[in-house]
């Protein structure tokens, strides 16, 4: 537990691991009631399905600010190709009328939304939130090998 | 080579080859790219889904899996289809498959696209939460089979396109041959037509509308050409006939002028001979020997006068003072009746006279003489006692000889009088000279050679013309055309006639 806290603190401060590896993390506002997200919940969330996280319906945001971030998101978080993801999303939208996750192209926009909406959740480089006290990491999505 | 390319078949082949040279590489690139992307995407979807399944298997255990079970699971992944590498990396430990080495771990380099590191292994990592620890599931799968499948698909596409190209070339050749065959046929016949052989018909033998229309147009041109050619030949022949007639007319005219002049002078000489002979006869007693001689001189002078009269009639210098509208049918009927009564009984005379009004402007006595002269001439052309003479009189609205119409300047109706016999006929040379004065084929003493010349002169002086058609041994046909005038119409209102 202490080791985990150490890593979290270390990541929060530096944005990278102790070995200098980059990380992609799932982020919410510090005051958000969302404290944990499983892999299955994450996939459902980003496919537009309603998911209650600790009793709250989360608002997923897609981060289109970085091409590599996109690739990591599809491989590590969604476990499918971009084309398959878009097909699934469209299929669910057409079949069940689900809302598609909002797309933002700026990290600053995403941070602003996270600060305004404590149900909002998104993914970004850990380095992007290294000095943001009002944002919190809820899950590690990818760690550079 | 250049000639082959300039043919229809060559052009079609060239077009097909050039267009395929441009389009097929593009088609190949598009198809190969599509199949590659599709295969790679399918492969990545499978790998990512499978990896996530393994991660979920570890993550969703009610009680954390013992490390040995995790290692066994990693071994199972590596031993599975395409499996190359598997490890679960946690913050405090690293659970790697027992059948991979440290060297394999060194090669781990995460991929996000197919064959992105040229190592033929697709490495990926999945976030895994084991208990309270967040770790990474690192897996590696061989890309070789998928790459081989993609290469196989590319080869199939290439082979398909080559087959397609060959089929396109074969179809083009067939199309070129189908198109060019009827055109070649048309070309061949056109050349024959150009060389003057109009007997061949320009038929396309094709179902292609443009070719059929072309053949139809060419056939129309050939047909027109044939008609124009025929017309031209006819006109040339007519012109030759007319030129011959003109030459003949000029010759007869010259002879007539000369004969007329001589006859006129001879008539002047004959006047004092006749006058003084009459004076001397009146002074001599009846029964005197000298009176008998002078009476012979008087008869000879009368015959000479008649001869001069005929020559003047031929040369059209005879004064015709009694021209008036005359019923030609009546004249012909009277003349043929007279001729029938004078000829022998074994002669078959057919007379066919139109019921139509047949008025001409002329001298009845002269026209009477024309009919009698022609009938007499026909009778003399029949060697034995048996023979046939056919006389017809018809009316026509248009004269077959355009020259006559041109000379008259009229498009009026004409009477056509024909006298046909089945006698000995004439050769062409005789026909040519038959209207010349003093020309005769009979023995000396049987004719003066002035009968037909007189007929010729009378007909021309009445504004008509005369033609003869004869073959040796087959008889002769004399045809006279005389311009008709409306019955009973005052002379001043009638069309002018140049006589």
CA dist., res. B57 & res. B49, Å (int): 12
Tell me if B39 sits within 8 A of B149, measured CB to CB.
yes
Least confident of A95-109, B96-110, B230-244, B308-322: B308-322
Rounded to whole angstroms, how far apart are CA atoms B37 and B32?
8
Are residue B36 and residue B157 in the same domain, yes or no? Answer: yes
Instruction: Round to whole Å and give the CA distance between A104 and A111.
Output: 10
**Backbone phi and psi for residue A46, each to the nearest 5 degrees, phi listed first:** -85, 0
Domain that holds residue B275: 201-319
Residue B443: CB atoms within 10 Å:
7
SS3 B420: strand
Task: Reduce the DSSP state of residue B117 to 3 states and report it.
Answer: coil
Q: Do A71 and B44 touch (CB under 8 A)?
A: no
Q: Which residues lie below 8 Å from residue B212, measured CB to CB, with a gap of 6+?
A: B204, B206
Q: Which pairs count as long-range contacts for B20-24, CB under 8 Å and 24+ apart, including other chains?
A: B20/B165, B20/B168, B24/B161, B24/B164, B24/B165
Q: What pLDDT is recorded for position B487?
A: 64
Is the Cβ pair A139, B127 closer than 8 Å? yes
Partner B contacted by A19 (CB < 8 A): no
For every residue of B300-355, DSSP letters joined together read: HHHHHHHHHHHHHHHTT-S-----EEEEHHHHHHHHHHHHHHHS-TTEEEEEEE-S
Question: According to the model, what pLDDT value does residue A4 have?
Answer: 43
Count how many Cα atoms sit within 13 Å of the Cα of residue A4 in the half-sphere of its side chain: 13
The mean pLDDT of B386-394, rounded to a whole number, is 90
Indicate whether B365 and B455 sit together in one domain.
Answer: yes
B149, B166, B183: which is the final residue of a domain? B166
User: How many angstroms separate the CA atoms of B186 and B218, rounded?
Assistant: 8
pLDDT band at B51 (very low <50, low <70, confident <90, very high): very high
Q: Report how far residue B128's alpha carbon sits from residue B238's, in angstroms, rounded to the nearest whole number.
A: 116
Q: What digits encode the pLDDT tens for the residues B392-447?
A: 999 887 645 554 444 444 446 889 999 999 888 888 888 888 888 777 776 666 66
What whole-number distance in Å separates Cα of residue B357 and Cα of residue B375? 23
Domains of chain A: 2-143 (3.40.190.10)
Q: Which of B319, B345, B363 is the last residue of a domain?
A: B319
CATH number of domain containing B398: 3.30.565.10
Is A140–B112 a contact, with Cβ atoms under 8 angstroms apart? Answer: no
The answer to whether residues B325 and B297 belong to one domain is no
Q: How many CB atoms are closer than 10 A to CB B275? A: 11
Cα end-to-end span (Å), chain A: 23
- Tell me the C-alpha to C-alpha distance, in Å, between residue A97 and each of A7, A49, A91, A93, B476: 41, 10, 9, 4, 114
Best of A23, A25, A145 to substitute, by most chain B Cβ atoms within 10 angstroms, is: A145
- Among residues B259, B369, B270, B248, the alpha carbon closest in space to that of B312 is found at B259
| CA-closest candidate to residue B316, choices B253, B236, B388 | B253
Read off the pLDDT band of B153 (50, 70, 90): very high
Q: Is B245 a member of any domain?
A: yes
Q: Identify all chain A residues contacting B134, using CB atoms and an 8 Å cutoff.
A: 4, 139-140
Question: Is B178 domain-assigned?
Answer: no
* Cβ contact, residue pair B125, A142, below 8 Å: yes
Integer Cα distance of B430 and B452 in angstroms: 13
Residue that is last in its domain, among B122, B149, B166: B166
Same domain as B471, residue B348: yes
**pLDDT number for residue B306:** 82
Residue B194 domain-assigned (yes or no) = no
What is the count of structural domains for chain B? 3
Decide: A43 and A77 in contact? Cβ < 8 Å. Answer: yes
pLDDT in tens, B195-204: 888 888 888 7
Q: In a 10 Å sphere around its CB, with 0-12 CB exposed, 13-18 middle and 19+ buried, how is residue B479 labelled?
A: middle
Chain A residues with CB under 8 Å of B56 CB are: 39-40
Contacts of A1 in chain B (CB under 8 A): 132
Strands (DSSP E) found in B100-152 = 121-130, 133-142
The verdict on a CB contact (< 8 Å) between A4 and B133 is yes
Q: Which long-range contacts (CB under 8 A, 24 or more apart) does A99-106 make?
A: A99/A48, A100/A48, A101/A45, A101/A46, A101/A48, A101/A60, A101/A61, A101/A62, A102/A59, A102/A60, A102/A61, A102/A62, A103/A61, A103/A62, A103/A64, A104/A61, A104/A62, A104/A63, A104/A64, A104/A65, A105/A64, A105/A65, A106/A65
Q: Are B437 and B453 in contact (CB under 8 A)?
A: yes
Instruction: Give the span between the Cα atoms of B131 and A1, in whole angstroms.
Output: 11
CA–CA gap between residue A75 and residue B454 (Å, rounded): 129
Interface test with B, best of A23, A70, A143, A144 (most B CBs within 10 A): A143
Regarding whether B76 and B99 lie in a shared domain, the answer is yes
Instruction: Please compute the mean of the pLDDT values over residues B135-144 and round it to a whole number.
Output: 94
pLDDT at A6 over 90: no
- Provide φ and ψ at A38, rounded to 5°: -80, 165
pLDDT, position B352: 93
**CATH number where B101 lies:** 3.30.450
A1 touches chain B (CB under 8 A): yes
Residues B475 and B349 reside in one and the same domain: yes
Judge whether residue A122 has pLDDT over 50.
Answer: yes
Which residue of B lies nearest to A144 if distances are taken between CA atoms?
Answer: B110
Do B20 and B112 have their domain in common? yes
* Residue of higher predicted confidence among A59 and A98: A59
Position B49 scores a pLDDT of 94
Strands B133-142 and B83-89: antiparallel
Q: Kindly state whether residues B156 and B241 are assigned to the same domain.
A: no
Query: Residues in chain B whose beta carbon is closer than 8 A to a beta carbon of chain A?
Result: 41, 44-45, 48-49, 51-52, 55-56, 59-60, 91-92, 108-110, 112-113, 123-129, 132-134, 136, 138
Task: Please indicate whether residue A92 or residue B386 has the higher confidence score (pLDDT).
Answer: A92
Q: How much is the mean pLDDT over chain B?
A: 85
**Is residue B92 a part of any domain in this protein?**
yes
Residue B176 in domain: no
Structure tokens, B139 = 């897996």
Cα–Cα distances in Å, from B40 out to A85, B25, B54, B183, B236? 15, 22, 21, 54, 88
A80 touches chain B (CB under 8 A): yes
Inter-chain CB proximity B112 and A72 less than 8 Å: yes
CA separation, residue B29 to residues B24, B34, B36, B41 (Å): 8, 8, 10, 18
Shared-domain flag, residues B244 and B332 = no
The verdict on B332 and B246 lying in the same domain is no
A79 and B126 in contact by Cβ < 8 A?
A: yes
- Is the C-alpha dihedral spanning A78, A83, A84, A89 positive or negative? positive
Could you tell me which residue, B437 or B272, shows the higher pLDDT?
B272
Residues 6+ apart with CB under 8 A from A29: A114, A115, A117, A118, A120, A134, A135, A136
In percent, the amount of chain A with pLDDT more than 70 equals 86
Tell me the pLDDT band of B96, cut-offs 50, 70 and 90: very high
Q: Is the pTM of this model over 0.95?
A: no
- Range A28-45 average pLDDT: 93
Q: Which residue has the tokens 């990290």?
A: A107
> Residue B108 is nearest to which of A75, A76, A145, comparing CB atoms?
A145
User: Position of tokens 């919940």?
Assistant: A41
Pair (B294, B337) in one structural domain: no
Give the three-class secondary structure for B87: strand
Q: Report yes or no: A86 at the B interface, CB cutoff 8 Å.
A: no
Buried-state track B1-35, b at ≥16 Cβ within 10 A, e below 16 = eeeeeeeebbebbeebeeebeeebeeebeebbeeb
- Per the domain annotation, does B115 fall within a domain? yes
pLDDT of residue B398: 64
Nearest to A71 among B112, B134, B138 (CB): B112
**Which residue, chain included where needed, has tokens 């008259």?**
B408
The reply to whether B265 falls in a domain is yes
pLDDT band at B29, cuts 50/70/90?
very high
- Cβ distance A39 to B55 less than 8 Å, yes or no, reads yes
Judge whether B270 lies within some domain.
Answer: yes
Mutation target to probe the A interface, by most A beta carbons within 10 A, among B43, B45, B87, B88 is B45
Total residue length of chain A: 145
Bridge-based pairing state of the strands B324-327 and B121-130? unpaired
Contact with chain B for residue A18, Cβ under 8 A: no
* CA dist list (Å): B339 to B420, B424, B425: 14, 20, 21
Q: Where are the alpha helices (DSSP H) in B60-143?
A: 67-79, 102-107
Closest alpha carbon within chain A to B38: A83
**B229-258: per-residue pLDDT in tens?**
899 999 999 999 889 878 877 877 787 778
CA distance B434 to B438: 9
Tell me which chain A residue has its CA closest to the CA of residue B52.
Answer: A79
Nearest to B203 by CA among B225, B219, B187, B224: B219
Residue B314 shares a structural domain with residue B345? no
Burial class (CB in 10 A: 0-12, 13-18, 19+), B457: buried
């Amino acid at each position: 537990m202490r080791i985990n806290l150490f890593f979290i603190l270390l990541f929060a401060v530096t944005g990278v691991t102790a070995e200098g590896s980059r990380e992609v993390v799932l982020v919410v506002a510090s005051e958000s009631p969302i404290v944990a997200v499983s892999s299955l919940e994450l996939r459902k969330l980003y496919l537009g399905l309603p998911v209650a996280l600790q009793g709250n319906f989360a608002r997923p945001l897609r981060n289109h600010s970085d091409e590599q971030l996109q690739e990591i998101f599809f491989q590590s978080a969604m476990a499918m190709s971009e084309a398959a993801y878009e097909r699934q999303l469209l299929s669910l939208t057409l079949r069940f009328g689900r809302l598609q996750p909002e797309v933002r192209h700026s990290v600053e926009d995403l941070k602003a939304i996270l600060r305004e909406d404590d149900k909002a959740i998104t993914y970004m480089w850990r380095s992007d939130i290294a000095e943001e006290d009002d944002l919190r990491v809820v899950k590690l999505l990818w760690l550079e090998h | 080579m250049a000639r082959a390319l300039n043919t229809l078949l060559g052009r079609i082949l060239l077009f097909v080859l050039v267009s395929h040279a441009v389009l097929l590489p593009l088609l190949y690139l598009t198809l190969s790219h599509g199949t590659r992307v599709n295969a790679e995407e399918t492969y990545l979807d499978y790998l990512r889904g499978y990896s996530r399944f393994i991660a979920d298997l570890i993550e969703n255990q009610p009680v954390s899996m013992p490390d040995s079970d995790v290692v066994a699971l990693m071994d199972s992944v590596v031993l599975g289809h395409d499996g190359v590498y598997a490890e679960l990396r946690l913050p405090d430990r690293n659970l790697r498959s027992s059948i991979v080495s440290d060297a394999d771990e060194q090669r781990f380099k995460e991929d996000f696209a197919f064959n992105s590191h040229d190592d033929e292994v697709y490495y990926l990592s999945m976030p895994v939460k084991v208990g309270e620890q967040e770790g990474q599931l690192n897996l590696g799968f061989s890309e070789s089979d998928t790459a081989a499948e993609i290469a196989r698909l590319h080869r199939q596409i290439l082979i398909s396109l080559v087959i397609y190209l060959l089929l396109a070339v074969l179809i083009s050749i067939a199309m070129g041959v189908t198109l060019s065959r009827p055109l070649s046929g048309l070309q061949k016949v056109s050349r024959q037509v150009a060389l003057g052989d109009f007997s061949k018909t320009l038929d396309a033998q094709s179902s292609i509308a443009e070719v059929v229309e072309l053949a139809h147009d060419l056939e129309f041109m050939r047909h027109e050409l044939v008609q124009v050619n025929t017309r031209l030949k006819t006109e040339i022949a007519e012109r030759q006939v007319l030129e011959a007639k003109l030459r003949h007319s000029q010759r007869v005219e010259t002879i007539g002028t000369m004969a007329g002049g001589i006859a006129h002078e001879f008539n002047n000489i004959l006047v004092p001979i006749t006058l003084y002979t009459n004076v001397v006869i009146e002074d001599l007693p009846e029964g005197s020997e000298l009176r008998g001689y002078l009476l012979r001189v008087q008869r000879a002078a009368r015959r000479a006068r008649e001869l001069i009269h005929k020559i003047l009639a031929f040369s059209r210098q005879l004064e015709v003072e009694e021209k008036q509208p005359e019923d030609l049918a009546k004249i012909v009927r009277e003349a043929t009746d007279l001729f029938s009564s004078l000829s022998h009984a074994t002669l078959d005379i057919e007379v066919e006279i139109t019921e139509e009004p047949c008025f001409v402007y002329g001298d009845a006595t002269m026209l009477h003489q024309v009919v009698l002269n022609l009938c007499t001439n026909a009778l003399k052309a029949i060697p034995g006692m048996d023979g046939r003479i056919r006389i017809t009189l018809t009316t026509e609205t248009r004269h077959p000889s355009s020259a006559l119409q041109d000379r008259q300047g009229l498009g009026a109706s004409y009477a056509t009088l024909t006298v046909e016999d089945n006698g000995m006929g004439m050769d062409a040379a005789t026909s040519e000279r038959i209207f010349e004065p003093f020309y005769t084929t009979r023995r000396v003493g049987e004719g003066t050679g002035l009968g037909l010349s007189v007929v010729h002169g009378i007909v021309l002086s009445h504004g008509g013309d005369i033609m003869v058609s004869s073959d040796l041994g087959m008889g002769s046909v004399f045809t006279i055309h005389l311009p008709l005038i409306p019955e009973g119409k005052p002379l001043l209102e009638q069309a002018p006639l140049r006589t």
